[in-house]
């Protein structure tokens, strides 16, 4: 039996927001068709439909934290893609956070490329001016072919356009890269096209994740039947190495491997300055006999 969760119940947040004040704004995901994602599809015995919460309920949540005297905490606007909500609704929420909570370090949310492209430059500037600091967006792959196969609902050029719109509005951009998403068949394409898109956008941050296939996702049956093959740990590390190696010289992004799915934990505050050392470190992992013989893990809970 799958339990339906109300929109005020938070299902997921980025690891970097572990100690943030979490304010649910939307429930579920307005797209919810990605073949590798089971977050809102009952994968853990619970699902959540897309919904935008009533404004008064969101403001009440902010009032609750204000009464608790939260001081100096970041705030994460929760839900699969709060930027799908009307701009004025979001502006009122963000301004209220800035008004009611003390010394807010940052205000952040997830975002989808489609949501960003639907907003005008003026709307995005309003969000920035109200105090939205950063959005987290799943690029996953720079290959339009892989994005189509995985039913991401966007393509590489749309991702580039959306990323640039965010940055031009004065909002920081953190992109997620999903290592292994092309499997063996499209690994080289995944690497080259992802490096190309990152070079075009030059995001504030990009973060690596490693593909893990969850039950009740369309990709699960393909993996179990052998149609889709997961990369080994060392092959995932090789993909990361080649993405970094193929970046343009203009890319100054921060880079993180900040997830339990990954096989390394290295990071950079500026990949332009650290690229050589970053690659050497990855080479050390790749050539380590222990890593070469490391069995593939497939996490069912993250």
Backbone phi, psi, residue 180, to 5°: 85, 0
Does residue 211 share a domain with residue 64?
Answer: no
Over range 77-88, report the average pLDDT. 97
The CATH number of residue 18's host domain is 3.30.750
CB atoms < 10 A from the CB of 122, how many? 9
Does residue 291 share a domain with residue 152?
Answer: yes
Does residue 183 share a domain with residue 53?
Answer: no
pLDDT tens string 25-54:
999 999 999 999 989 988 777 899 999 999
Per the domain annotation, does 121 fall within a domain?
A: no
Predicted local confidence at residue 215, as pLDDT: 87
Domain boundary among 62, 81, 112: 112
Does residue 160 share a domain with residue 280?
Answer: yes
pLDDT tens string 193-222:
999 999 999 999 999 999 999 888 989 999
Does residue 203 share a domain with residue 107?
Answer: no
Over range 104-129, report the average pLDDT. 98
Does residue 289 share a domain with residue 164?
Answer: yes
Does residue 78 share a domain with residue 147?
Answer: no
Per the domain annotation, does 120 fall within a domain?
A: no
Predicted local confidence at residue 43, as pLDDT: 74
Per the domain annotation, does 117 fall within a domain?
A: no
Identify the CA nearest to 273 among candidates 250, 239, 256.
250
Domain boundary among 82, 112, 142: 112
The CATH number of residue 262's host domain is 3.30.750.200
Per the domain annotation, does 23 fall within a domain?
A: yes
Per the domain annotation, does 258 fall within a domain?
A: yes
pLDDT band at residue 301, thresholds of 50, 70 and 90? low
Q: Mapped to the 3 state alphabet, what secondary structure does the chain carry?
A: CCEECCCCCCCCCCHHHCCCEEEECEECCCCCCCCCCCCCECCCCEECCCEECCHHHHHHHHHHHHHCCCECCCEEEECCCHHHCCHHHHHHHHHHHHHHCECCCCEEEEECHHHHHHCCHHHHHHHHHHCCCEEEEEEECCCHHHHHHCCCCCCHHHHHHHHHHHHHCCCEEEEEEEECCCCCCCHHHHHHHHHHHHHHHCCCEEEEEECCCCCCCHHHHHHHHCCCCCCCHHHHHHHHHHHHHCCCCCCCCEEECCCCCCCCCCCECCHHHHHHHHHHHHHHHHCCHHHHCCCCCCCCCC
Mean pLDDT of all residues in the chain?
A: 95
Does residue 286 share a domain with residue 169?
Answer: yes
Does residue 275 share a domain with residue 149?
Answer: yes
pLDDT band at residue 295, thresholds of 50, 70 and 90? confident
Counting the structural domains of the chain, the total is 2
Per the domain annotation, does 199 fall within a domain?
A: yes
pLDDT tens string 144-199:
999 999 999 999 999 999 999 999 999 999 999 999 999 999 999 999 999 999 99
Does residue 141 share a domain with residue 85?
Answer: no
Does residue 182 share a domain with residue 78?
Answer: no
What is this structure's pTM? 0.96
Does residue 181 share a domain with residue 59?
Answer: no
| Residue-number span of the structural domain to which 21 is assigned | 1-112
Per the domain annotation, does 127 fall within a domain?
A: no
């Amino acid at each position: 039996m799958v339990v339906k969760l109300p929109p005020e119940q938070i299902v997921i947040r980025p690891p970097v927001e572990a100690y943030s004040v979490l304010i649910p704004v939307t429930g579920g995901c307005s797209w919810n068709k990605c073949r590798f994602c089971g977050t809102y599809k009952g994968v853990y015995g619970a699902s959540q439909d897309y919904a935008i919460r009533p404004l008064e309920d969101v403001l009440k949540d902010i009032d609750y934290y204000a009464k608790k005297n939260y001081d100096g905490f970041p705030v994460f606007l929760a839900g699969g893609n709060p930027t799908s909500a009307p701009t004025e609704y979001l502006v009122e929420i963000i301004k209220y956070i800035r008004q009611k909570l003390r010394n807010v370090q940052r205000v952040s949310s997830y975002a989808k490329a489609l949501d960003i492209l639907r907003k005008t430059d003026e709307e995005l500037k309003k969000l920035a001016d109200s105090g939205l600091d950063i959005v987290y967006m799943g690029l996953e792959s720079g290959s339009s072919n892989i994005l189509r196969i995985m039913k991401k609902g966007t393509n590489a050029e749309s991702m580039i356009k959306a990323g640039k719109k965010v940055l031009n509005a004065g909002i920081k951009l953190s992109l997620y890269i999903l290592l292994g998403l092309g499997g063996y068949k499209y690994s080289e394409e995944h690497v080259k096209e992802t490096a190309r898109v990152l070079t075009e956008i030059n995001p504030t941050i990009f973060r690596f994740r490693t593909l893990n296939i969850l039950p009740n996702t369309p990709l699960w049956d393909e993996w179990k039947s052998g149609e889709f093959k997961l990369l080994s740990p060392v092959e995932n590390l090789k993909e990361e190495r080649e993405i970094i190696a193929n970046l343009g010289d203009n890319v100054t992004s921060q880079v993180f491997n900040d997830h339990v799915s990954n096989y390394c934990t290295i990071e950079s505050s500026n990949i332009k300055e650290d690229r050589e050392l970053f690659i050497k470190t990855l080479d050390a992992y790749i050539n380590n006999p222990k890593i070469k013989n490391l069995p593939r893990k497939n996490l069912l809970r993250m």
